[in-house]
Amino acid sequence: MATTTPTTAAVAPAALLPTRQPESLWRQATRAFFRQRSAVIGLTIIILLVLISIFAPLLAPYDPEQVLIGVEDVQKRSAPCVHAFGCPSTQPQHIMGTDGNNRDELSRIIYGARISLYVGLITVGFAIIVGVLLGALAGYVGGWFDNLVMRILDVLLAFPALLLAIAIVSVLGPGLINAMLAIAIVSIPAYARVMRASVLSVKQEEFVQAARVVGAGPVAILFQHVLPNAISPLIVQGTLGIGTAILETAALSFLGLGAQPPTPEWGSMLSAERNQLFSAPFLVFFPGLAIMVNVLGFNLLGDGLRDALDPRLRR
C-alpha cells in the first residue's frame, strides 16, 4: 500500500508566513490615548493655547498695557454694561471690550495665556526636578535617609498648599517670580512621594537585580535602569500639576501677591475688575473663562495620559 508524504510546496507557505512583531508599550499607550475623546479635546485645547502664546504679538490687536482713551471716558464705566463705553456690544473695534483702565481686554487675555503657560511649565518643571531627585534617592537608598526626607515632606504636606504658598510669598514679597517659587516649593512633596513609590516598586524587578549582578554601580542602576521605568506616573502627575499651578498662581495674583499691575495675568485681571461684576460683567467673565478652559485642558490631558499609560485602565 502506497503512502503519501507531504510535499515541500504544501508546507512551504505556512513556514514562510511573516511573523508579526510585538507592538511597543509606547505605541500601545499612544493608540489608547487617541481613542479617548476627552483626552483628544484636552490636547487640542493645550495646542491652541500654545499657538496663541507663541503668536500673541500677531493675534493681539493692541498692546496689552496700552491705555486707549482719555480719563473723561473712564468715568462712563459707572453706567450699566449695555450703555458703558467699554461694553463689547457697543465697541465693535474691541471684541471683548476694554477694562477699567481702558486697555483692550482681548489683547490682555491673549497675552495672559502666555504668562499662564510660562508659570505652569516653569513651576512644575522646578518642582519635578527637585521632587524626582528627593523621591528617587529616598526610595533607592532607603534607611535613615528615606525617613529623614519623608518626614520633612510630611511637615510640608501638613499645611494646606495655598495657605503655605501665601505664607512663603508674604515672607519673600509679592511678585510673579516669588509666587512661582512658593507654588513650586509646596508642590515638591507630591512629586517626591510619587517618584519614591514608583522607585520602590521598580527596584525589586528582575532586570534591576540582573544589572546589579553584572557589576553595575548604584548610580548607573538608578539613572539607567530604575528612573526610566519609574517615570510614567510622574508624567501624569506633572500634567495635572500644571493646571493646579496655573490656578494657584491666579489665586495668589487675585489676592495681590502674584503678578502686579499692569501685567496681563488672568488672576490679577479678575482682582482689578471684581467691583465691576454688575456694571461690566464681561471684565470678570472673560478672564475667569480663560482660567477655566486652561485648567480643564490640562486636567483632560492628564486623565487621558493616566488611562493610556496604566495597562490596568486600558480598554
Distance CA 168, CA 178 (A): 8
Cell for 282?
464681561
DSSP state of 4: -
- Which of 167, 140, 138 has its CA nearest to residue 154? 138
Least confident of 41-50, 127-136, 272-281: 272-281
3-state secondary structure of 98: strand
Mean pLDDT value across residues 128-148: 89
Distance CA 257, CA 260 (A): 8
Superfamily of domain 118-313: MetI-like (1.10.3720.10)
Distance CA 244, CA 34 (A): 24
CA 100 to chain centre: 31
How many Cβ atoms from other residues are within 10 Å of residue 101's Cβ? Answer: 17
Distance CA 134, CA 234 (A): 13
- Which of 119, 61, 126, 160 has its CA nearest to residue 267? 119
Position 275 scores a pLDDT of 83
Distance CA 2, CA 263 (A): 96
The yes-or-no verdict on residue 72 having pLDDT over 70 is no
Q: Which residues contact 157 (CB under 8 A, 6 or more apart)?
A: 189
Tell me the pLDDT tens digit for each residue of 170-217: 899 899 999 999 999 999 999 999 898 888 888 777 777 787 777 777
Position 312 scores a pLDDT of 55
Q: Are 81 and 280 in contact (CB under 8 A)?
A: yes
In this prediction the pTM is: 0.79
Residue located via cell numbers 518642582: 127
Least confident of 2-16, 234-248, 249-263: 2-16
Position 26 scores a pLDDT of 66
The yes-or-no verdict on residue 2 having pLDDT over 60 is no
Position 93 scores a pLDDT of 66
Which residue would you say has higher pLDDT here, 24 or 54?
Answer: 54
- Which of 233, 230, 236 has its CA nearest to residue 305? 236
